[in-house]
Chains A and B, each alone.
Chain A
Amino acid sequence: MGDDPRKGESATPHIVQVPSPTNRTRSNQPFDRLQETATDPLGPQSVFAQAGHDLYGTKDVQDAITASYVWLADQMGHIALGLMPTLLLCWAFSGIWSNWICPGCETDSFWRAAGIVVIGLVVFSYWISKEIQDFNDTWGRQRWQFEFDTSDLVWNVKTALFFFAIGGMFACAAFINPWLLLAVIALVLWPALRIVYWWLRRKIAFQRAGLPYLFRLTNFYTKLSDDAVQAISDVANMRQVEVRFWRVVFRRDVPHFNDPPAGRRHFLITGSLNVGKTSLVVGIGTEFAFSLGIGRYLTAAKLVQSAPRTKKDPDKTENTGGDVLWPLRQCELLIVDDLDAGATADGRDVHLIQPDAFYEALKIEGVVPLQWLARRRTVWVISDPATAPAWRDTIAKSIGINPGDIMQIDLTSDQKPKRDDPPPRINVRRPLGYAAAAIGALALLISAVWWGAEGSWSRFQALTPEQAFADGSFGLELAPLKYILVSSKLSPRSLGPDWPKRFGFLARRDAVASVCAADAPHNLPVGFSVSNRLPGSATPVPVQFVGLTCAACHAASFGKAGVVLGPGTHSADVIAFTDAFLGATIDTGNGTKDSAGLTGDAILKTYDAQCPNEAGGLFHWVDNKVEAFFIDRWLSGLRATSRLNMSKYDMPFHGKALGDPLNIPTGPSRTRPFRSVVRNTLDLPGATNRAYSRVPLAAMQAERPWSQFDGSVGDRTVRSMIAIFTSGASPAALNEKQIAWNVTQAAEYTANLGTSPRLPHLRDAFPDVPAPDPAVLARGESVYLAKCSGCHGHPTATGWWMRPVKHPPSVTPLAGIGTDPERINFRYANMLPTALETLLPAKTEAERGDQMALLIKARLDAYNSGDFAQADWWTEAMSRFDDHAREFPAGHKLAFGLNEVQLRDGYMNGPIDFAWLRAPYLHNGSVLSLSALIGLTERDNQFCRGGTTDDYDTATLGLKLVKPGPNGCPASTPFLFDATQPGNSNAGHDFPKRGSVSTDDLKALLAYLGTL
């Protein structure tokens, strides 16, 4: 064994490469020149020249196709086969991603990229299976005589997969980030060039040997002796050398040559026609070329013709019909086929060339110029074994060796291969089956783990009524906790530097100085809770979201009592907050690098900077990726909904416009519940709805069989459910076990709130206020019993007494009470009872039948009255009810009876216990104090609100009056309430009748009211 067979001659054969004159064109001239100056016939310069020559200046219908050209075209095909299906699937995936999975998400989302990578891997795995199949087919065709060159074939498979992978990576990179495409090109360029170089060297060695076709010895089908197989393997330089990727890419491609002993370097192969002589010698030539040996295949006639050149131009390549061939003089292996030109003519074997004639023909100036072959390798083929001795002598004489140094191998046609059907080298079905099973099992495991995790994220907690009211989740999740914690930094222009204060939310008593998630339950404003539920659907997810609770609106601060749960807020401007929040989340950037807008990444980066102790580590990285996905999903969903809603509900206000009553007329402590009900229940705009309502005291509900300002809703759980639904919770969220529990418990909390748990009295909150004179109180009580008790009832030792009425509740018609009519007379009011009662499918089929009957009646009524639009709406409502019945086949957990919602024509006369906690007064909050309500002081048409949570006036028993100046309201109380605007009227409820009670009596009445 040696490194090179021509040791002592030249490590690299000296070959002058002469391009074929028939293939010379202008465009391949540079490559021709490069080739002519190359010193190594299989070196980079020669390979590059050949590749250039293959690609430029030739056409495959005009010129002979070279093996190197076919190989290059094959690899381009592999790249295309990797590229095209991946591109197509990525394109489809991108469409599905942006339309269904994550509408509006950024295209550089981690999860989108992960999906694209998975697609690339799926396509690539198909090509792996295809290549394995090809390998098996090739393996199956071997004849088990010569060793199967698995290293060559495996490397061939790896090469094909490498180029498939390049195509796939190009496609994936193009969809993930175009810049990544450059990175991929940079990454694969060098390995690709090295692999191309490795293969083209062998292809060039093969094509310049002049072999008629490619044949691997392992496929040789005629039986040979073991010794012959070994000898042929040696002369063909067959050797299993594992080809390693890294070696090809980074190491020199050094050929290794064996050194067969004398007597096994020269062969005479005999055999009749079609016995496989040519295949055998072509196989020898192919194997030798693939080991980077310089060899030639030619016929006897060609040898005779070329022999003079071995003296004249010993180093120049030959050109035959456009093919460039190695010079004979530089060949390590010479194969002379059909030496005797044997043929069958008229049933007789004839031999056109005789040994003596051949020897004579070879002579030049009396000498046969082939003596240099003595130390190299030769293979000669004749057809007639009988003439073998003569030919052996002639060959030996021609190349200067002993006849005994020529090994003769006789092929006979009755010798069959050992085995025709070897088992597959690689069983594709088994690994494919196991791989599929493993992936399937893994997917099941991941799903099972996720379900288990969902259980922990939404683990049921039997919250007490107070816990549910203050901190329960109601499906009103707003935004991710981390966004809420950094929102003042990320969205200062929308929310301001301190949004809880700006929009009048109350701080918790147990707040600590921290801005991180762990302390959030203590630090969020009152009425904001943390859960692991997605906004809208309330689906359990690994990300914490912040939601609103009952206490966001039903809590207020009173002197030393501090924050009290139950009373309507004095300060929270919920609608302005909603608009500002919506505006903040729609921030999609300005289209430049300066601002990418609000994204999951931006939120998490800001949060990590704010809470650095939580950052770092692999788990945190994974956690952030998952959080970013859900946050982006939330953002895109919210934005998509907002865009849809804008055409119907208009754009949200922002900046100073938020505080302008012409834009948002409600201001602090009020809402527009029926605009929301019309929107959420009827899916109609409700833009003209001016039924502004103060947030009422949610207490002592047990003594109110009917509630709302007009007494329209019966069961108190239904009241809570409608309030929460109106605030944005979906029916699906309300059907969730924990949320349904929280709704029921929160309603329960309001049942006896006042006595159990007890609410503070005026002097509990303001102990410095002097106690009223008992005589004054007695006088006030008598005025109350005379002027107020008829409608509002009065306290007794056993509870609050109300005058019985035949058909509760007691309602004073609008004409009688004279207060603002917008709360009663708004558009679509007549549709709401039926729409709400059929919102949630009942539990039994019979009840659902009654609900459907109600819808049918509504449609008929509308149709009979000529209101075809409304009749059509009810038809659609019937279809929606069917859908809901299918969605909640066992009935909705919060479904309620058909008579729980009623249309009223006035305002309800309800109990007024804890009257001092009910400020401001009248349903629309247009009267600030009890003093103004009973006529002791004037009802001001304009006053300023907001800006503070400490706004109780113990003198007037109500909210402090701040009158606007010539320039409007001061910055400390910025919202201007104007009672002359529609929906804001402070007229009506002139009780006690003006002038019917003296001022002293009114003062006494006020003092008495303060004790209720």
Chain B
Amino acid sequence: MGQLAKIDPLPWGLALLGLGGGVAAVTFLSLAADDVTFARTQWFAMLAMLLALPAILLHAWKGNGAGLWWQAFWTAGLLAYLLHFWWSVGIVYGWSVGAVIDRQGIVGYSNFLVTALWIADVAVAALRPKLTTVTSILRTVAWLAVTISFVAASAFFRSGTVAMLGYVMLTATLALFAFRVFSLGLGRS
């Protein structure tokens, strides 16, 4: 209780609010869609992207020590992604990994790998907050994999608003990463 009382509830609260509000919005707005299953599958992916966006940008800006806000939105993004995973692999593909691979080919393998990396990173962040060399590498690789996965899935494989979201994510991530590198350079000089 003592430790809990010290935790700032705002990042987790807002991340949970985003997740809950997003899940409710997807659940109820999809009722108006022509194909509810398809709409929910797609929209949960977009929700995961939106929730993970602050964490991705924070990581690009501040690196592995991005803090509580990063952790809260990184975790909320994963939970939304797992809902997307459940609807796509579970409901659409009937938990048939073979069907996923048949449909998506190598992209299917990479999606499974990204999911595993993301879950591992969130678990490590929750259970072993202190960074070690191994967990730092895991965090960087997971961040890179998730970011590339989202950007590729939106900017390159979609069009319209979703693609725009992907381009925004890509631009903002690169800009913050460049800012971080540039700031480090200035600091050293």
A537 CA to B17 CA in the complex, in Å?
Answer: 29
Task: Write the nearest CB–CB distance from B175 to chain A, whole angstroms.
Answer: 28
CB distance from B33 to the nearest CB of A (A): 7
Residues 863-890 of A contacting B (Cβ, < 8 Å) = 887-890
**Contact between chains at B27 and A432 (CB < 8 Å):** no
> CB within 8 A of A444: which of B13, B19, B35, B102?
B19
Say whether A536 contacts B34, CB under 8 Å.
yes
B103 interface residue (CB < 8 Å to A): yes
Contact A446 B24 (CB under 8 A): yes
Per a CB cutoff under 8 Å, which of B23, B31, B103 touches A539? B31
Q: Establish whether residues B103 and A889, one from each chain, have CB atoms under 8 Å apart when the complex forms.
A: yes
Stretch of A66-74, A343-351, A433-441, A520-528 contacting B (4+ beta carbons < 8 Å): A433-441
- Most chain B CB atoms below 10 A, which of A536, A539, A845: A539
Q: How close is A740's CB to chain B, nearest CB, in angstroms?
A: 12
* Candidates B13, B35, B96, B102; contact of A887 at CB < 8 Å: B35
Interface residues of B in 29-44 (CB under 8 A from A): 29, 31-38
Q: Does B10 contact A (CB under 8 A)?
A: yes
| Alpha-carbon separation in the docked complex, A843 to B94 (Å) | 12
Bound Cα distance A888, B38 (Å): 8
Contact, CB under 8 Å: A443 / B103: no
**Inside 8 A of B37's CB, which chain A residues have their CB?**
732, 735
Name, among A447, A450, A451, the residue most crowded by chain B CB atoms within 10 Å (CB to CB).
A447
Q: Which of B106-134 contact A (CB under 8 A)?
A: none
- Is B67 an interface residue when CB atoms closer than 8 A count as contact? no
> What residues of chain B lie closer than 8 Å to A436, measured between beta carbons?
10, 13-14, 16-17
CA distance A845 to B19 in the complex (A): 35
How far, in angstroms, from A101 to B120 measured CA to CA in the complex?
38
Shortest CB distance A841–B (Å) = 10
What's the minimum C-beta distance from A933 to chain B, rounded to whole angstroms?
44
**Shortest Cβ gap from B89 to chain A (Å):** 10
Complex contacts, B179 vs chain A, CB 8 Å: none
CA distance A438 to B32 in the complex (A): 27
Residue of A whose beta carbon sits closest to that of B33: A537
- Cβ contact of A435, chosen from B13, B15, B88, B103, cutoff 8 A: B13
Chain B: CB-nearest residue to A100: B32
B109 CB to nearest A CB, Å: 15
* B92 within 8 Å of A (CB atoms): yes
B123 CB → nearest A CB, Å: 20
Q: B21 interface residue, CB < 8 Å from A?
A: yes
Cα separation A964 to B19 with both chains bound (whole Å): 69
Q: How far is the CB of B145 from chain A (nearest CB, A)?
A: 22
Q: Is the CB of B16 within 8 A of A429?
A: no
Which one of B8, B18, B94, B103 has the greatest number of beta carbons of chain A within 10 Å?
B103
- Once A101-B29, A430-B9 are accepted as A-B contacts, the answer to whether A537 and B20 lie under 8 Å apart by CB is no
Given A433-B8, A440-B20, are A889 and B92 neighbors across the interface (CB < 8 Å)? Answer: yes
Q: Is the CB of B99 closer than 8 A to any CB of chain A?
A: yes
Asked if B28 and A844 sit within 8 Å, CB to CB, the answer is: no
- Across the interface, do A433 and B31 meet the contact criterion of CB distance under 8 Å? no
Q: Is A534 an interface residue (CB 8 A)?
A: yes
Residue from the list A437, A633, A891 in contact with B12, Cβ < 8 A: A437
B156 in contact (CB, < 8 A): no
Closest chain A residue, CB of each to CB of B14: A436
Inter-chain CA distance A696–B96, complex, in Å, is 40
A439 with B20: in contact, given A429-B10, A433-B9, A845-B102 (CB under 8 Å)? yes
Q: In the complex, which residues 90-149 of chain A have their Cβ closer than 8 Å to any Cβ of chain B? A: 100-102
Q: Which residues of B lie under 8 Å from residue A843 when comparing CB positions?
A: 99
Interface size for chain B: under 10, 10 to 19, 20 to 34, or 35 or more residues? 35 or more
Checking B14, B38, B88 against A732 with a beta-carbon cut-off of 8 angstroms, the contacting residue is B38
In the docked arrangement, what's the CA distance between A719 and B102, Å?
28
Q: In this assembly, does A23 line the interface, its C-beta being within 8 Å of a C-beta of chain B?
A: no
In the complex, the chain B residue whose C-beta lies closest to that of A433 is: B9
Closest residue on chain B to residue A434 by CB atoms: B9
Q: Nearest B residue to A103 by beta-carbon distance?
A: B32
A residues 527-553 touching B (CB-CB < 8 Å):
534, 536-537, 539, 541
The answer to whether the Cβ of A58 comes within 8 Å of any Cβ in the partner chain is no
Nearest CB in chain B: distance from A500 CB, A: 30
Q: Is A730 an interface residue (CB 8 A)?
A: yes
Is the CB–CB distance between A433 and B12 below 8 Å? yes
* The residue from A102, A440, A730 contacting B21, defined by CB atoms under 8 A apart: A440
A442 within 8 A of B: yes
Q: B10–A440 contact, CB under 8 A? A: no
Assembled-state Cα–Cα distance A251/B91 (Å): 63
B34 pairs with A732, CB closer than 8 A: yes
Among A430, A451, A537: residue with most chain B CB under 10 A: A537
B residues in contact with A435, CB < 8 Å:
13
Contact of A890 among B19, B21, B103 (CB under 8 A): B103
* B51 CB → nearest A CB, Å: 11
Closest chain A residue to B11 by CB distance? A433
Q: Say whether B10 contacts A541, CB under 8 Å.
A: no
User: Interface 1/0s, chain A 165-205, versus B by CB < 8 A?
Assistant: 00000000000000000000000000000000000000000
Chain A residues within 8 Å of B34, by CB: 536-537, 730, 732
> Closest Cβ of chain B: how far from A3's Cβ, in Å?
46
Task: Assess whether B13 is in contact with A440, with CB atoms less than 8 Å apart.
Answer: yes
CB distance from B137 to the nearest CB of A (A): 32
CB distance from B179 to the nearest CB of A (A): 27
Measured between alpha carbons, how far is A440 from B17 in the docked complex, in Å? Answer: 4
The CA of A132 and the CA of B162, in the complex, are separated in Å by 38
> Cβ of B20: which chain A residues have Cβ within 8 Å of it?
439-444, 447
Would you give the shortest CB distance from B31 to chain A, in whole angstroms? 6
Residues of B within 8 A of A541 (CB): 31
Chain B: which residue is nearest A451 at the CB level?
B27
Question: How far is B181's CA from A754's CA once the two chains are assembled, in angstroms?
Answer: 80
Are B102's CB and A844's CB within 8 A? yes
For the complex, what is the distance from the CA of A440 to the CA of B20, rounded to whole Å? 4
With a CB–CB cut-off of 8 A, which chain A residues contact B8? 429, 433
The one of B9, B96, B102 in contact with A429, judged by C-beta atoms closer than 8 angstroms, is B9
A888: B residues at CB distance < 8 A: 38, 92
Q: Which chain B residue shows the least CB distance to A538?
A: B36
Complex contacts, B21 vs chain A, CB 8 Å: 439-440, 443
- Cα distance, A888 to B34, chains bound together (Å): 13
In the assembled complex, how far is the CB of residue A633 from the closest CB belonging to chain B, in whole angstroms? 7
When each residue 389-414 of chain A gets 1 if its CB lies under 8 Å from chain B and 0 otherwise, what string results? 00000000000000000000000000
1/0 per residue B63-98: CB within 8 Å of A? 000000000000000000000000010001110100
Chain B residues in contact with chain A, CB under 8 A?
8-21, 23-24, 27-29, 31-38, 88, 92-94, 96, 99, 102-104
Query: Can you give 27 A-B contacts (C-beta < 8 A)?
Result: A100-B32, A429-B9, A433-B9, A433-B12, A434-B13, A436-B13, A436-B14, A438-B13, A439-B17, A440-B15, A440-B16, A440-B21, A441-B16, A443-B20, A444-B19, A447-B20, A447-B27, A534-B31, A537-B33, A731-B35, A732-B35, A735-B37, A887-B35, A888-B38, A889-B92, A890-B99, A891-B99
Contacts A436-B14, A440-B15, A887-B38 given; 5 further ones with Cβ under 8 A? A101-B29, A440-B13, A539-B31, A889-B103, A890-B94
User: Residues of A at under 8 Å CB distance from B?
Assistant: 100-102, 429-430, 432-444, 446-447, 450-451, 534, 536-537, 539, 541, 633, 637, 730-732, 735, 843-845, 887-891
| 10 shortest interchain CB distances as A-B pairs | A433-B9, A440-B20, A443-B20, A440-B16, A436-B13, A433-B13, A732-B35, A433-B10, A437-B13, A440-B17
